[in-house]
Structure 1
Amino acid sequence: MLYVKDILLQLLFALTPFVLYTIYYRDKAVNYSKQFITITCMICLFMSMTFPASVQNGIIFDIRYVIMFFGMLYGGMTTGVFLLVEFLIYRLLIGGQGLVSAIIILSITFTLSALLSVLYRRLSEYRKLITFFAGIIFSIIPIVTMFGTEYQYTIQHLKFNILVMPVQNFLGIWILISLFNKAVSDKELYLRYLQSEKSETIAHVAASLAHEVRNPLTAVMGFLKLLKDDSITREKSRKYIDICLEEIKRTEVILSEYLAIAKPNHSMVEKIELVQQIYSIVDIITPYANMNNVSLEMQHSEDKIYVSANPTEIKQLFINFIKNAIEACTVHATGNVSIRIERQSKYAIITINDNGVGMSNEQMERLGSIYFSTKSKGTGLGLTLSYQLIRSMNGNVTVRSKSEEGTEFILSIPLTD
């Protein structure tokens, strides 16, 4: 039982670098450094030599060979030299009968550790075999050396020397390197995932930017086409030009927001008259609806309904919903989108109804999920951002739809005094 306690204590010291690694690097976006390996190995070596396994004063056994091999494997020769110096100084201070034997054993194992660590790094396909061989040879060398230098002691405590030393050295090397390798591999996968996620985020932001900018540009294009008609009046021309300029300004705002994407978002909230706001949006989106042979209808029960929101964001929100409704109707020769605004209790209810392609139950469940779109060329970002904006206003979105029978979006937004 005493032997088991000694082995378990030394194995605990052997696992110290792995434990410290998992604690220290758990939330860091970098992997281990050689300095970390050197410091943790020196701590581990000091602890194992301070509380060694021993059956005779002056002759001590610990997991110094395990730590030496591990340190040179992950920290390089510099770490090995630091550990060698630490061991020699501390072992000379401890002194005792086994001092000469300890120095002979360490000189052999140090050389082998340097050789095996080089092979380990170069021959990646044989790493398990090299680890196994290191565990065996670092278990045999101390016993053979002790037979030559301390024969009487070795025979007297043969059971201890045959069981304790090989078990703690072999298990120490195998467990420590296996666990540390697994932790390092998982960390590398995590770091690669972070890098790919950054690249993917950039791609998604670019797609989102294109989606958001396309809406005002589509409106500008529609009005510019109308301006080519010689029959329109001067008053209408000026109105169309004003709308185009307004949309270009909105594009500039969108671009500015995306350029500042890394900065904290302090959205300016204002009291907005909803009916007039949606009428202005309908004016903007009408040319796009005409291009797709879709008619727009507007109904409202009251002339003034007020909500608190950011003017640019809520404008983009309704453009996203109405534009999606228009695009859903393009399969029909005569599409129709109706917009109804009413007051219910403490909420403004905006209902957007179309006679388009509709959606299945599965599609409705995924609406608002990031990067999900029912359109073959859509990113889904516009609707995702719209859902998020409504929720940030403590509002709600309800969807009713059937395939080939159209869709109804019901947006609930809290009223403001």
Structure 2
Amino acid sequence: MSLLKEVILQLFFALTPFVLYNIYYRDKLQNYSRTFILITSSISLFLAMTFASSVVDGIIFDIRYVILFFGLVYGGMQTALILVLEFVLYRCYLGGEGMGVALLMLVCTFLLSVVIYKLYQKTHRKTLYTFLAGILFSLVALGLTYLFFPAYVKQHLAYHVFVIPFQNSVGIWLLMSLFSKAIADKELFIIHAQNEKIQAMSHVAASLAHEVRNPLTAVKGFLRLMQEGPNEPYKTEQYIKISLDEIQRTESILTEYLSISKPLQERHEPINVSEQLHVIQEVMLPFANMHNVELDVQIFDTPVTIIANPDEIKQVLVNFVKNSIEACADVPNGRVMLSILIEKGNAILLIGDNGIGMDEGQIQRLGSIYFSTKSSGTGLGLTYSYHVIHSIGGTIQVTSEPFIGTKFTITFPCLAQEKVEANLTA
């Protein structure tokens, strides 16, 4: 039973990079980096060697070769060499009569790992090569151990013939297959989330084109009036003022639209949510008008400051407002309401509509990947929005009734004014 516990513990250590990946990158719109592979593999290697499996003092067996191969595949040669150095230093520190054989095994398995890695990159049968790597690593360990400690191997033959190959082959299969699936799913999510953003902004752009055309038509008309009455300086001055106001408003709308549609950047800073609501109102008002929906935005007079990525918050607001407007598109007197307030040190954003609403089952699935209440939707817009809100410590509550409407209550940790000033002067 003790040996079984040790094997299960080693398999858990082998899965450390996979577990940490799902924790660290869960709310991020990016995939793994080589630095992440190096850090997690180093942690995994250290734990595996510290709590290694052993039947005789001084001769230890762990999941080290699995971790080394994983680091080579996903982190590259530099990562693998750093892991080799970590192993050598720590194994020398641990000592024991099996230390010399362990270092010789490392050299052999590392060279073997490089060969299998090159074959692994070229083949589509990655599962086969993964299992093959685990078996070969076990055979190298068995052969060299028998060469130097034949009596020990004969005494514990079942351990070396069954336990070690099982530990290595299952460990490497679990780690490689699960991690590969996780990064493939993340890559697919990133691509679809980016496409969802492009699709959302293209819908908004269609309404903006109509909205921009109106002031341009007005300016064109005033220019003609000035051309027809050049000797009326008072009217000309009035026409010029109106035309400049229309052009300024058009420029403001386009600038705010471009600020939202630009690529997202990794940054967190104090942002005033009230100002963000004003931007969203300017950009989304044409979209609401095109769907015959009233957009009512109540902006808080006092600055409501949170720490977040301004690009992400704008995109989140666009996603929620766009969904609310579309929910009201087929409803008479459709109305979308946005407001914000401060309560118990939190910024509370309220987004409500009198649209088609949702039932309890739909509410429970909101934010789940690929779930959408729209026939042509993917649900990734809200999935991304939920991730952004949760990543900055926010929460989302939804109340809705079919054919009555929906209300989102989004709570953010609010930054106190003195902290805002400290951040701005830092």
Cα pair 2:292 2:329 within 8 Å, conserved: no
Q: Given residue 190 of structure 1, which amino acid in structure 2 is its aligned partner?
A: F
Deviation at 1:252, TM superposition (A): 3.0
The alignment partner of 2:208 has SS state of: helix
Name the CA shift for 1:76/1:239 in 2 (closer, same or farther; >3 Å).
same
Name the structure 2 match of 1:133: 132
CA distance in 1, matches of 2:134, 2:170: 7
Cα pair 1:105 1:141 within 8 Å, conserved: yes
The alignment partner of 1:30 has SS state of: coil
CA distance in 1, matches of 2:112, 2:119: 11
Name the structure 2 match of 1:142: 141
Name the CA shift for 1:255/1:146 in 2 (closer, same or farther; >3 Å).
same
CA distance in 1, matches of 2:10, 2:115: 25
Name the structure 2 match of 1:115: 115
CA distance in 2, matches of 1:267, 1:109: 59
Name the structure 2 match of 1:25: 25
Deviation at 1:239, TM superposition (A): 8.8
Offset from partner CA, 1:135-182 (integer Å, 9 cap, x none): 221222212222222111111111222222111101110000111111
Name the CA shift for 1:244/1:40 in 2 (closer, same or farther; >3 Å).
same
Among 348, 351, 368, which residue is 2:325 paired with? 368
Cα pair 2:328 2:355 within 8 Å, conserved: no
Cα pair 1:217 1:248 within 8 Å, conserved: no
Say which is worse superposed, 50-59 or 30-39, in terms of deviation.
30-39
Offset from partner CA, 1:244-286 (integer Å, 9 cap, x none): 96476335314313313448675799xxxxxxxxxxxxxxxxx
The alignment partner of 2:67 has SS state of: helix
Cα pair 2:328 2:354 within 8 Å, conserved: no
Name the structure 1 match of 2:346: none
Answer yes or no: is 1:252 the counterpart of 2:209.
Answer: no
Cα pair 2:327 2:355 within 8 Å, conserved: no
Q: Given residue 19 of structure 1, which amino acid in structure 2 is its aligned partner?
A: V
Cα pair 1:41 1:71 within 8 Å, conserved: yes
CA distance in 1, matches of 2:352, 2:177: 52
Deviation at 1:372, TM superposition (A): 6.5
Structure 1 segments of 4+ aligned residues over 6 angstroms from their partners: 220-228, 238-245, 370-374, 393-399
Report matched runs for 1:28-43 at 5 Å. Answer: 28-43=28-43
CA distance in 1, matches of 2:242, 2:18: 61
CA distance in 1, matches of 2:81, 2:143: 25
Name the structure 2 match of 1:350: none
The alignment partner of 2:13 has SS state of: helix
Say which is worse superposed, 219-228 or 67-76, in terms of deviation.
219-228
Deviation at 1:52, TM superposition (A): 0.8
Say which is worse superposed, 94-103 or 68-77, in terms of deviation.
94-103
CA distance in 1, matches of 2:151, 2:355: 87
Offset from partner CA, 1:94-119 (integer Å, 9 cap, x none): 22222232222222111011122222
Report matched runs for 1:377-392 at 5 Å. Answer: 387-388=335-336
Name the CA shift for 1:124/1:254 in 2 (closer, same or farther; >3 Å).
farther
Name the structure 1 match of 2:60: 60
Give the structure-2-normalised TM-score.
0.59
CA distance in 2, matches of 1:369, 1:58: 69
CA distance in 2, matches of 1:77, 1:371: 56
Say which is worse superposed, 131-140 or 54-63, in terms of deviation.
131-140
Name the structure 1 match of 2:99: 99
% identical aligned pairs: 44
Name the CA shift for 1:220/1:42 in 2 (closer, same or farther; >3 Å).
closer
Cα pair 1:3 1:160 within 8 Å, conserved: no
Offset from partner CA, 1:178-202 (integer Å, 9 cap, x none): 1111111112122223433443344
CA distance in 2, matches of 1:218, 1:54: 83
How many residue pairs align between the two structures? 301
The alignment partner of 2:54 has SS state of: strand
Name the structure 2 match of 1:344: none
Name the structure 2 match of 1:404: none
Report matched runs for 1:393-408 at 5 Å. Answer: none
Cα pair 1:209 1:255 within 8 Å, conserved: no
Larger Rg: 1
CA distance in 2, matches of 1:166, 1:108: 17
- Stretches of structure 2 that go unaligned for 5 or more consecutive residues are 261-271, 294-322, 341-350, 357-426
Deviation at 1:74, TM superposition (A): 1.0
The alignment partner of 2:124 has SS state of: helix
CA distance in 2, matches of 1:136, 1:126: 16
The alignment partner of 1:260 has SS state of: helix
Give the structure-1-normalised TM-score.
0.60
Name the structure 2 match of 1:89: 89
Deviation at 1:367, TM superposition (A): 8.9
- Stretches of structure 1 that go unaligned for 5 or more consecutive residues are 270-308, 326-365, 375-382, 400-417
Name the CA shift for 1:268/1:116 in 2 (closer, same or farther; >3 Å).
closer
CA distance in 2, matches of 1:398, 1:39: 49
Name the CA shift for 1:267/1:250 in 2 (closer, same or farther; >3 Å).
farther
Q: Given residue 209 of structure 2, which amino acid in structure 1 is its aligned partner?
A: A
Offset from partner CA, 1:14-64 (integer Å, 9 cap, x none): 111111222222222332222221222122111111111111111111001
Answer yes or no: is 1:200 the counterpart of 2:196.
Answer: no
CA distance in 2, matches of 1:395, 1:30: 31
CA distance in 2, matches of 1:140, 1:171: 15
Name the CA shift for 1:168/1:51 in 2 (closer, same or farther; >3 Å).
same
The alignment partner of 1:79 has SS state of: helix
Name the structure 2 match of 1:341: none
